Amino acid sequence: MSDIDRAEQQRREALERHDARVRRRQTARLTVIGVLAAMFAGVALDNTQDVSVGWVLGDASVPLIVALLGSFAVGAILGALGRRQRNQPTDD
């Protein structure tokens, strides 16, 4: 086997190892997201009583599930915005 063939084989093996790591990482991430979503859904569905939510301009009475889902949505949006800003290159 020539040096070029050996180098090509090593490159292919390294690429296969990298692809396997990426797949494992994606599977783990999706599993964690699924478990957290199931836990959140269970908690949310178990908490249906009305709660008072205080706003700057007054109070509102909403089901607890709505307050939980609203808080989750706001947190997810803020987290995504923070991640996007952190990943953008700076001009420094």
Write out pLDDT tens, residues 4-29.
888 888 889 999 999 999 999 999 99
pTM of the model: 0.51
Q: Which of 29, 46, 63 is the last residue of a domain?
A: 46
**Beta pairing, strands 58-63 & 50-55:** antiparallel
40-89: pLDDT as tens digits: 788 877 878 999 988 888 898 998 888 888 888 999 999 988 887 666 66
> Are 37 and 52 found together in one domain?
no
- Residue 62's beta-bridge partner residues? 51
Domain range enclosing 52: 48-92
Which residue is associated with the tokens 């989750």? 72
Do 27 and 52 fall into the same domain?
no
The count of domains in the chain is 2
Token digits of residue 40: 């959140």
Q: Which two tokens stand for residue 66?
A: 């709505």
Same domain flag for 52 and 84: yes
pLDDT band at 92 (very low <50, low <70, confident <90, very high): low
**Cβ(75)–Cβ(59) below 8 Å:** no
